[in-house]
Structure 1
Amino acid sequence: MDIHMDEHPNEQKLSQDELIRIAEERNPGKKVRYAFWDYDEHPNQVLFDLTVHPDDDFEKSQYVLMNEFNGKVLIEPKNEGFLYIMLRLHTDIFAGIPGKLFMGLMGILFLISIVSGVVLYGPIMKNFEFGMVRKHKSKRLKWLDTHNIVGIITLAWLVVVGFTGVINTLSDVVVGLWQQGQLAEMTAPYKDLPAIKTKYSSVDQALKISEEKDPSMKVVLVAFPGTMFSSKHHYAVFMRGTTEMTSKLLKPVLIDAEKGKFTDARPMPWYVNVLFLSQPLHFGDYGGLPLKIIWTIFDLASIVILITGVYLWLARRKAKLQFKEKSPLENELKEI
């Protein structure tokens, strides 16, 4: 099903409040807690995340992608399928924060293996030509040369992907630091106030105020009160720039969700921006399809490095065992 919609120059978009009402009526008992916009991939569409409680785990989310002009539900993505399983295995192996930290440790070991490989490669290649593969020697030497040449060619990419991968595994830590630091400062006057018991103010009003504060930026995310990216009293409206670099960075604008008034807006701290910049670089999201193709080629090359590395480790282990078995007999012959 093609969910990309054409422009509607003669029509007017429905209000976000109306779209939220439609989404919530479609999912009784659940409330919208996040709204997302992707102007490049899904123009004129909004994706809602609905749950029973605003602080529920993302595994409990119900997603609804809607046409902003007529409120039609285009698709309801699920946390399932092959790609979802692969993503979870890659990010946290279905173990949450401990899984992410474990993957971060693996990333650090991966970077250490790269450094050790470079240290070993330099002295070895002093006596040989760059790119040499000894095809007519033993099978083990041929695999060793293949491992070395592919590894040194992809060195820079491996370092970038490994380093950004480690940063990405710290996303929960980074969010926690932001919550306890900048977000706590921005919402300090509301710290001791009870949670909002009345109906929230208009989301459209929150978007209007945020866009007026910085017309050069676009709204990409609204976090509702009680979620991990806002307080119990605010809409957190996240804005992004329009250039290739600034489109990866977010600026939160806090709107009082009871009174519908502006509270505060600040650029994200440096450590959050490092995370924002590392995520698309790790997955090859800069530069569109051409960069994704390049990333795929390098991914395949890294698989070659992994396979040849495992083979060489097994071959070396086997050679040591054979040497130990032969050594007693050789010693006896020497004595004779």
Structure 2
Amino acid sequence: MKSSLKRAARHQKHWYGKWHTWAGITAGMILIIVSLTGSFLVFEDELDVWLNPELFDFEEKGQAILSFQNVITKLKEDYPDWDMGGIYMAEKRNHAYILYLHDGEQAIINPYTAEVTGVRIYRESVMGFIRHLHRTLFIPPFGKYLVGTSSLICAILMITGLRLWIPKKWKHLKARFGIRWSGNKKRINFDLHNSLGFYFSPVITLISITGVVITFSQFVFLFLFLLSFKSPQSIASIFDQKSNYYENAKALSIDELEAIVEKQVEGGILMGINFPHDSVGTYGMNVLAPAVAKTGDHCMFWLDQYSGEVVYSSESKDLKLGKMYLNWITPIHYGTFGGLPTRILALIASLVTATLFITGFIIWLPRWKKSGNISIKRVSVAKKTKAKAVENELESEEVL
């Protein structure tokens, strides 16, 4: 019985080793790119401010910040032709207001004066370039799903790697926890690969799985609706809310709408607004409520632009699972849910992921070369044996 279990364990480890190797070869280069770009995106807001001081360094810093109403009123006066899609306050970008236009551009707005400091297409900025590379590899939409599939492979690599980490004999377990710096380069590289993989596998697995969920979000939302026993058509209905329009109807002011949503959430702060596209569209209001996570609890309300009636909200029962997705998946993926400590952990884990693929490649390459040489030798021996057999056959025919 004991020998059977040992054989089964060896067989299992053999196949885990094959899966681990080929999964790493298949997705390795993509995951190096994704993990390195992801390490920058952990501090995307701060880096964007540092790289673009002309947009985000405000001389009036420390003064009272203008309300959404004041900013939007001034923008409509100064830029009446702008087709505004939405606006939000970028807290980590020195509280700048960022306005999204329907032509794909974004305007950066001084929160103290409502002056526009610049208009840009974010993808053409340094951090936008990095984000686009991270999410699509510059080959959308195919690249997006390639990244998501590679993230899934990364999770598989972490699981199979943990199985391979377990030594054949338990007395060697202690050696797996550290790095033997006195060994040769190959030994140090092997220990580094094993140790980093073991210690960071939980964090890397979480980042990988959340990356898969973000990539395939449309399918995840569909699944969440099925769990809520709602029809898939409900997804479209969320984003197709209507205001009750009547003749000579007058839209409410932003201040009035803000007061309505703040009553809905105790201690809530308005963080963003999506504007209605036409006379029957609704306002989408993003309200931040206090929560355990450092990123807060984001609540969405769709309001009738004339009456202020809440026609739909993220607090409804059929959106509870979806709200959990919005509040936790992205914060876990970028490590923002616990503030600076978890962001630093996510940064290190991203760099470790790239390191694991590099050290893994260094481990695999000599083995691959060795197996190739063995195969060549086997072929050579087989050819010589065949040639000798043919020669013997010809000699026997001559004798006859």
> For each residue in 1:250-301, what CA deviation from the matched residue of structure 2 results, as whole angstroms up to 9, or x when unmatched?
2222221244444343414213422431212211223333333333333222
Whose helix fraction is larger, Structure 1's or Structure 2's? 2
Aligned AA for 1:255? L
Aligned AA for 1:302? T
> Is the CA contact (8 Å cut-off) linking 1:251 and 1:265 kept in structure 2?
yes
Greater RCO between the two (CA within 8 Å, min separation 6)?
Answer: 2
Q: Which of 64, 69, 81 is the equivalent residue of 1:29?
A: 81
Q: Which of 55, 58, 78 is the equivalent residue of 1:3?
A: 58
Q: CA 1:224–1:175 in structure 2 vs 1: closer, same or farther (change >3 Å)?
A: farther
Q: Which of 109, 117, 120 is the equivalent residue of 2:153?
A: 109
Greater Cα offset, 22-31 or 101-110? 22-31
SS class of match (2:176): coil
> Is the CA contact (8 Å cut-off) linking 1:140 and 1:315 kept in structure 2?
no
TM-score by length of 1: 0.77
Query: Would you say 1:66 and 2:110 are equivalent positions?
Result: yes
SS class of match (2:337): coil
**How do 1:1-336 and structure 2 match up within 5 A?**
1=53, 2-3=57-58, 5-8=60-63, 13=66, 16-24=68-76, 26-27=78-79, 29-39=81-91, 41-43=93-95, 45-52=96-103, 60-67=104-111, 69-76=112-119, 78-79=121-122, 80-124=124-168, 126=170, 128=172, 129-131=175-177, 133=179, 139-173=185-219, 180-181=233-234, 184=237, 190=242, 200-226=251-277, 233-245=281-293, 247-267=295-315, 268-328=319-379
Structure number with larger C-alpha Rg: 2
> Is the CA contact (8 Å cut-off) linking 1:97 and 1:172 kept in structure 2?
no
Greater Cα offset, 131-140 or 21-30? 131-140
* Alpha-carbon distance, 1:31 to partner: 1.9
SS class of match (2:110): strand
* Alpha-carbon distance, 1:226 to partner: 3.6
Q: CA 1:135–1:264 in structure 2 vs 1: closer, same or farther (change >3 Å)?
A: closer
* Alpha-carbon distance, 1:138 to partner: 6.4
> Is the CA contact (8 Å cut-off) linking 2:87 and 2:272 kept in structure 1?
yes
Whole-Å separation in 2 of the counterparts to 1:257 and 1:292: 38
Whole-Å separation in 2 of the counterparts to 1:149 and 1:49: 45
> Is the CA contact (8 Å cut-off) linking 1:171 and 1:275 kept in structure 2?
no
The answer for unaligned runs of 5 or more in structure 2 is 1-52, 226-231, 389-400
SS class of match (2:100): strand
> For each residue in 1:160-218, what CA deviation from the matched residue of structure 2 results, as whole angstroms up to 9, or x when unmatched?
11112112213355567889426726966x49x88999875422221121112323211
Whole-Å separation in 2 of the counterparts to 1:149 and 1:50: 48
TM-score by length of 2: 0.66
> Is the CA contact (8 Å cut-off) linking 1:110 and 1:162 kept in structure 2?
yes
Q: CA 1:275–1:324 in structure 2 vs 1: closer, same or farther (change >3 Å)?
A: same
Whole-Å separation in 2 of the counterparts to 1:220 and 1:180: 28
What is the root-mean-square deviation in Å for CA atoms of aligned residues?
3.7
% identical equivalent positions: 20
* Alpha-carbon distance, 1:86 to partner: 1.2
Whole-Å separation in 2 of the counterparts to 1:107 and 1:72: 41
Greater Cα offset, 258-267 or 84-93? 258-267
